[in-house]
Each structure stands twice: as structure tokens, then as C-alpha cells.
Amino acid sequence: MGVSSYQLDEKNRGFSYLGENTLDMRMDKTQELTAKIVVNQYTQTKLANILYEYGEERFAKQIAKNICKQREEHPIETTKQLVKIIEQSIPKAKQKEGHPAKRTFQAIRIEVNNEIEPLYQTIIDCIECLKQGGRLCVITFHSLEDRAVKNAYIEAKGKCTCPSDLPYCICGMKTLGEIITKKPIIATKEEIEENTRSKSAKLRIFEKR
């Protein structure tokens, strides 16, 4: 799951917080919603919620507040303008863990491209397409994606609702298979040294029965 790192590295698409480019962030250039619209038209509360939920940004409220304050004077149109606002919103002492704009840019990208909402049903659909004994292996790079995959696997496995004292199931529970990975498989130390972007990767496997 996720997006191509090479695509994100294309600065002229507005995904990167490095340099100065138009706030776009669309994977599909034909869609109307852009990062510029999100930044300049969303309410302060909605902005803060997006930054906190999708970016896990601790300073979401302050960043949203400063974005709204700045756009009252003039529209925020470039990545450089947005980065400057973010940097001013986060205490210097808290800016040591990577680039301060990383979480905000991630959150806005997820919102623009609706990356989380369809994921749950997509996983269910993929499992239903498998042949018996087939396995669905999904690698995610974000906690929200991982949660959606985990919940979809649990739904596909099914859960018996019968009282524990009954000798056999009578609730008619239906199952599509079994979860192979009790806990997600993560990258080894060697893998992370070879590819730093694998640090947040989590692999979950489901087998169709």
C-alpha cells in the first residue's frame, strides 16, 4: 500500500516539502480537489483534525490556527509558504526528529487522494477474489493503513457469537479464511540499514479457506 517514492520525489507535483512548488499533491490530475484547496478553504477545525488523524501531528491545532491566520492576508499557494508556517508553529526544540513539515504534508496528501477510506473494502474484495489456499500479503507504511488492513482481516475471518458453554457453533458464522500473521512482520535491522523507508513497513497475511 502507499504511493511510489519516485512520484513523491517529483518536486513539481507539490508532494515534497523541499523547494518551492505549487500546492497540488494530486495522484489523479483530473480530479478537482488539490492541496491548495485543502489549505485555503478547509475550516480550522477540519484542518486540525486531518493533521492529527492522518499525520499524527502533535502540533496540529497550532499549525491549523496559523494556516488560517496567514490565509486571511493572502492565499497560501506554494509548498515553501506552507513549510514556513509549519516551522513557525512547532517549537525549535521539537524539530529535531526529521523535517517539521513531514507529517503535515503526509496528512494533506492522504486527504487530497482519499487514500484511507476505500482501503478496508478493497482488502475484503481482494480476499473474495482469491482461490482456496491463496494468500493476500499486504505491506503498509502508515498506522492508519495498517489498522484498516488488520480490521478487514478480522472481518474476513469472522467471529463466533455463540455462548462459550455450547459444544459447537450454531450462530452461522461465515469465514473467508485465516489470518496467518498474529502480529505484523516488520523489517529487520539489516533491511532498514539498506532501505530506511522500510522502517515503518508492516506485512500482514491472510489465507483463503
- What's this model's pTM, rounded to 2 decimal places? 0.79
**pLDDT value of position 172:** 73
List the chain domain ranges.
5-113, 119-208
Q: What is the CATH number of domain 119-208?
A: 3.40.50.150
- The reply to whether 5-113 and 119-208 are identical in fold is no
What homologous superfamily is domain 5-113 in, according to CATH? Putative methyltransferase TM0872, insert domain (1.10.150.170)
pLDDT of 52-103, one tens digit each? Answer: 999 999 999 999 999 999 999 999 999 999 999 999 999 988 877 778 999 9
CB 185 within 8 A of CB 202: yes
The pLDDT score that the predictor gives to residue 173 is 76
State how far the Cα of 157 lies from the Cα of 135, in Å rounded to an integer: 13
- DSSP sequence for 24-76: ---SSTTSS--HHHHHHHS-HHHHHHHHHHHH--TTHHHHHHHHHHHHTTS--
Grade residue 12 by pLDDT with cuts at 50, 70 and 90: confident
pLDDT tens track for 113-168: 998 889 999 999 999 999 999 999 999 998 889 999 999 999 999 877 778 777 77
